Structure 1
Amino acid sequence: MRFYLMAAAMGALAACQPAVPDSAAGVGDPGRGVGFDSYAQSVPAAPSVSSQTLDGAAAPAPAPAATGGFDPDLVAASLAEDERAAAANSGREVVNASPSNPAPAPVSNPGISDENDFDAVASRQTIASDKARIAQNAAQYEVVQPTALPARDGSGGPNVVEYALQTKHARGTKVYTRLGFGGQSKMARNCAKYPNDDDAQIDFLASGGPSRDRMGLDPDGDGFACNWDPSPFRRAAQN
């Protein structure tokens, strides 16, 4: 009797368990999943979203799918935000370079030539007028033929350039004898009368120099009055 009761209980339990699907049913059939009648049954369906929530409030709209383009409103809003940020940083209004926002026209300045501006030149010149202007400029050319150098007649007084090239000693080298006292102070007073050392040297040579120094312009006897320096003329002749 006890055996029969246990067998009846086990049969009742077996009847309550669900049937196990045949896993081999989907093998070789691409439309059927393992343990399912079809592949669609193996993928859970996405839950449907109602336009109304449980409490009656509107549900958020789904995000639009990407299409590869751009939203003009979003671009304009982004540019406006960039302009506000730049203006806040620099304190100046941002100027965007675009065909709809051309650069300001330059202010006319009469002091600046517009010869390189094709439109400006074309507005006031023509091919004929340009040809006439070239001919006018060519007519004003003057060719100067070279002439012979003028000969020196010896009446122009001493020539400091010729004297500098004839001498070879350095300035300060005693070549001529000088007599008298207070030579440096006398030279300072007398040299102050000349505007430059070249005029003093010319006057010195015209008054008997370099062998004689009547005006006290060459107390060291080097033949150069008032510290006149022949070096620049010598270097020019060497070049």
Structure 2
Amino acid sequence: MRVSGFLIAVSAMALVACSPQVPDSAAGVGDATSPFNAPPEVEAGRTLNGAPLVPASRLSTETSGTNANWQQPRPSGAAATANDDIAREAAAAISAAGQNSGQAPLEASPSNPAPALVGNPNLSDENNFEAVAARQTIESDAERIARQRAQYQVVTPTAVPDRPQDLAPNIVRYALSTSNPRGQRIYSRTGINLQARSQRHCAEYASADLAQTAFLEMGGPKRDRKALDPDGDGYACGWDPAPFRAAVRAQGD
């Protein structure tokens, strides 16, 4: 009986050792590796694995001085220039406030336009009814009109004085004293290369009127020492008396 009981006990132990182990369904519940656990607390400025959020080398160069806001990108181009101008103006204003009576000087820049003038005495206010009414009244206007009427004078026209005869020839009078058109020969002209001489001497005068006056002063129309009238019509350097004659006829009409 004792041997039989021992054999039964040994058989039971063998069976237990040979049977497969059943996994525990609750294993891992409540420990640090469970996916159902709350995330661990992370120190400010560090990542989940404990590394610093910003490298120490970067902190030493970008979080000091004027580069403290390293996470904000700096503007470039026109925006950077405008910011620099504003910074300089602000620094100048602060410095001036400590050196004078407190009124900062005006800096000329695109971001600081010229101040508008107020109450400029050089500007007219004639279109401002209130300003005009404050210094003028109906009575003052009446006095000013009466004063202007008292100063009014009527000038009686007189006859045009006669032109002295010792002055330069009158080309208007000469035009009205002739009747032949241009190009009609009236006076004889002799000489060599009259046309070439005429062109050369006519170039000395700024206008045909001046050439005709000089022609008459030198003895024209009968005499022509400088060949100003090579065709002998009495008109120098292409001068035309027709406009003067037409003006007289228009007055008569």
What TM-score, normalized by structure 2, do the two folds share? Answer: 0.46
What TM-score, normalized by structure 1, do the two folds share? Answer: 0.49
